[in-house]
Amino acid sequence: MNMDKKQQTDKRAVVMCRVYSLHNKLICLVSTLWCRLKMRLWGIQFAKGCSFRGNMIFNRAPGSTIKMGSGCRFNSNSRFNFRGINHASILQTVTGGGIFIGDNCGFSGVSIISGCSVTIGNNVLCGANVSIGDRNNHEKHFGEFTPTPVTIGDNVWLGMNSVIMRGVTIGENTIIGANSVVTKSIPANVIAVGSPCKVIKERKNE
């Protein structure tokens, strides 16, 4: 029996997959409408085609900026990422901070925190539970950890559970492996992994 026939005869799975898909579409529709409304209320700038799967958390402080390009996608529910999402996606700034996201980026349970500037290029994809921050949230107690800009180039892949620390620049077309802690800048066109994250291989341009 070939796979198509097996799929056709597994009627319970066929039915449940269809129900699951319809449920997902309903969640996406409601979540997108609600999150777009919240962004307008928070004064967040966003372009066309941004979509949301599950309720997202926004917190834009007075005197800060959050700007999002077109076609960005945010997952905040593990039903949309079977690796598992630890929490809803979060965008949060303090006064003087700025989060700038390019076009066609995808996130799942991401946390992006800014006290000065986090800039993310176009076509950036993040695995589940990536954390990106230009600050450590405790500058009053640890004055040496002042906010320092973070820049992520175009076409970058950040593996699940990666942590991108303040002051880091990641060059375009680079892959950061899962569970990496990026404490120093990573060049373009490489694969880098580890804690602390280090380059292990160059990527050839095709």
The CATH number given to whatever domain includes residue 196 is 2.160.10.10
Q: What pLDDT shows up at residue 82?
A: 82
Counting every residue written for the chain, the total comes to 206
Report d(CA 80, CA 56) in Å as an integer. Answer: 14
Q: What pLDDT shows up at residue 145?
A: 76
CA atoms within 13 Å, Cβ hemisphere of 21: 6
- Going by C-alpha positions, the residue among 145, 43, 158, 144 that lies closest to residue 93 is 43
Q: CB–CB of 53/31 below 8 Å? A: yes
- Going by C-alpha positions, the residue among 198, 126, 129, 132 that lies closest to residue 161 is 129
User: Could you tell me the two tokens for 168?
Assistant: 């880091």
Residue 114, Cα to own-chain centre: how many angstroms? 14
User: Could you tell me the two tokens for 127?
Assistant: 């695995």
What is the pLDDT tens value at each position of the chain, 206 positions in all?
A: 455 666 667 888 889 999 989 988 999 999 999 999 999 999 999 999 999 999 999 999 999 999 999 999 999 998 888 888 999 999 999 999 999 999 999 999 999 999 999 999 999 999 999 999 998 776 776 666 789 999 999 999 999 999 999 999 999 999 999 999 999 999 999 999 999 999 999 998 65
Q: What pLDDT shows up at residue 5?
A: 62
Q: What pLDDT shows up at residue 1?
A: 41
Whole-model pTM?
0.89
CA atoms within 13 Å, Cβ hemisphere of 158: 33
Give, as one character, the DSSP assignment of residue 35: H
Say whether 57 sits in a helix, a strand or coil. Answer: strand
- C-alpha dihedral (137, 140, 145, 148), degrees to nearest 10: 60
Amino acid at 77: N
Q: What pLDDT shows up at residue 7?
A: 61
Q: What pLDDT shows up at residue 79?
A: 86
Q: What pLDDT shows up at residue 14?
A: 87
- Domain span holding position 15: 3-202
- Going by C-alpha positions, the residue among 122, 141, 61, 68 that lies closest to residue 97 is 61
Number of domains in the chain: 1
CA atoms within 13 Å, Cβ hemisphere of 115: 15
Q: What pLDDT shows up at residue 146?
A: 86
